[in-house]
Each structure stands twice: as C-alpha cells, then as structure tokens.
Amino acid sequence: WKIFADVLYKCLGSNMYTNPQEALKELKQEGTVKEYQTQFEALSTRVTGLIEQWLVSFFVAGLNDYLKCQLRLAKPPTYHEEVALAFLHEQNYVALQQSLKQSSVISSFPTPPKTKPPYKQFTAAELRERHRLGLCYYCDEKYNPSHDC
C-alpha cells in the first residue's frame, strides 16, 4: 500500500485532494505558451468528463491578455487548433516586441533637424535677377533640384 501511495503521490502531485477542475480553471499563463500548455494538460488529464468546448474555454481563459484577445477573435473550434494558434500569436508578439526594441534603439539618437539659412527679403527686381541667374533664394549658390544649402 505504501508503494502504491508513493506512486500515486508522484503521478498526481503534492496534493491529491485538490480539485483538478478548479485548479484548471484558475491556472494562468506565467511563461511561454509551451510551459502553460504543459501545465494545462497535466491538470486536464486529471479532470473526467470535460467536453472539448470547456477545455478550449479554460485554456483561453488562462492565457495572457494579448493571446486571450487574439484567440477569442479567431474562435478556433478545437483545443489543438487553439494551442497551435496560441503558438503562432506568441511568435508574432515576440517578433513584434524585438522589432520595436530595435527601432527604439535606432531612434533613441535623434538626428538634429536640418536648419536652412534664414530666408532673405528680396525686392521684386532682386528676385527676378536671382531667378534669371539661377541662384538659390537662401544662399548665393546655383540652384538645382538636388541643391542643399
């Protein structure tokens, strides 16, 4: 009997008197989807008579807010599709976070705004003369479309 109790204790965990359905309902994702799935499936195998609709519902309810929202929008019909979609959205989220980190590193050193020399106030005659000579209105260099003061 002692050996049986030890094996049962190892299989069912430290407290075999906890209600696995309550534990499943209260389980929350704290790490990756894979870690959550492992914990979820370990608990769900201890629950008898659980229909797939409730399995899907409990799984989604325990996910982090971002994944929960994504999966509720998609409404996959089966538990396996739910898990697969959670993995995809997690990968997408991680890639997006890395992309945002990289862009914030790049943009954390802003380039100083390019200042143009002050615009000179010209008379109509001076403007016609500058235009005739092809001069820039800001500096005295020849103007062209790629000109930069």
∠ at Cα 135 (130, 139), nearest 5°? 110
Domain contains 20? yes
Q: Domain count for the chain, please give it.
A: 1
**What is the domain extent for residue 10?**
2-107
Q: How far is CA 100 from the centre of its chain?
A: 9
Place of tokens 């890395």: 98
Domain contains 58? yes
- 30-53 confidence digits (pLDDT tens): 999 999 999 999 999 888 888 888
Residue pair 60/79 in contact by the 8 Å Cβ criterion: no
125 or 103, which is more confident: 125
Domain contains 147? no
What is the C-alpha radius of gyration for the chain, rounded to an integer number of angstroms?
33
List b or e across 81-111, with b for residues whose CB sees 16 or more CB atoms inside 10 angstroms.
Answer: ebbebbeebbeeeeeeeeeeeeeeeeeeeee
pTM summary value? 0.56
Domain contains 90? yes
